[in-house]
Amino acid sequence: MVIKKFMHITKELVEHLAKLALLELTEEEVTRYTRELDSLIGYFEKLNELNTTHIEPTYQVVPEAIVFREDSVQESFKREEWLKVVPQQEEGAIKVPKIIDVG
């Protein structure tokens, strides 16, 4: 495993991340986040002091295995009720600006 030490967060990377996360950022925000992320990541690389080669990662702290539900249909919430929170809808369908990019 290659540990990238002293990673530098560049403006381009921040812009790429903003694109992935679908966040519209102002020029000022891009500058700010470049600086802040660079400083934070720099500090977080403290973890590289530890050798973790044979350590299993922990993703959850609950010791049990998964719990199931049985396959039965439960009454869901009233469509009319939840459609009230939808910003735009037409005849029960959620309306969004036309999807041009397919994917």
Partner 1 sequence: MTSYEAVIGLEVHAQLKTKSKIFCGCSTEFNAKENENTCPVCTGMPGSLPVLNKKAVEFALKMAMATQCTIHEKSIFARKNYFYPDLPKGYQISQYDKPLAVQGKVGKVRIHRIHMEEDAGKNIHGTVSSYVNLNRAGIPLIEIVSEPDMRSSQEAGEYLRELRSMLRYLDICDGNMEEGSFRCDVNISIRPLTQKEYGTRAEIKNINSFRFVEKAIEYEIERQKEVLESGKRVVQETRLWDSEKNQTFSMRSKEEAHDYRYFPDPDLLPLQIPNTWIEDVKKSIPELGAQKKERFMNQYGLTEYDAGLLVQEKELAQYFEEVVQICQQPKLASNWILSELLRETTATQIAASPISSKHLGELIKLIQKGTISGKIAKTIFEKMWNSGQSPKTIVEKEGLVQVSDENVIRQWVEEVLKNNQKFVDEYRAGRTKLLGFFVGEIMKKSQGKANPATIHEILKKKLDSKGE
Partner 2 sequence: MIPLYDYSLDELSQKLQKKEVSSVELTQSVLKRIEETKAKLNTFITLTKESALQTAKTVDQKRIKGEVLSPLAGIPIALKDIFLTQGIKTTCCSKILSQFIPPYDSTVVKRLKQNDVVLVGKLNMDEFAMGSSNENSCFGPVKNPWDLERTPGGSSGGSAAAVAASQCLGAFGTDTGGSIRQPASLCGVVGIKPTYGRVSRYGIIAFASSLDQVGPFGKRVKDVAHLLKAVAGRDSMDSTSADMKVPDYTQFLTKDIKGLKIGIAKEYFIKGMEASTEKVVHKAIDHLKKLGAKIIDVSLPHTSYAVPTYYLIATAEASSNLARYDGVKYGYRAKASTLQEMYRKTRGEGFGREVKRRIMLGTFVLSSGYYDAYYKKASQVRTLIKRDFDEAFKHCDLIVTPTSPTTAFKLGEKMEDPLQMYLSDIFTISANLAGLPGLVLPCGFDEKNLPIGLQILGPHFKEEKIFHLAYAYEQSTEWHQRKPTV
Q: Is 102 in the site for partner 1 (CB under 8 A)?
A: yes
The option from partner 1, partner 2, none interacting with 6 (CB < 5 to 8 A, set by class) reads none
**Burial class for 17, CB neighbours closer than 10 Å (0-12, 13-18, 19+):** middle
Query: Residue 27 binds which entry of partner 1, partner 2, none, with Cβ cut-offs from 5 to 8 Å by kind?
Result: none
Q: What DSSP character marks residue 89?
A: E
- Binding of partner 1 at residue 71 (CB under 8 A)? yes
Of the candidates 1, 4, 28, 68, which one interacts with partner 1 according to CB under 8 A?
68
The yes or no reply on residue 77 touching partner 1 (CB under 8 A) is yes
Quote the distance between the C-alpha of residue 46 and its chain's center: 23
Chain-centroid distance of CA 95 in Å reads 24
Of residues 55-74, those binding partner 2 (CB under 8 A): 55-64, 66-69
Calpha distance 15→25 (Å, rounded) = 8
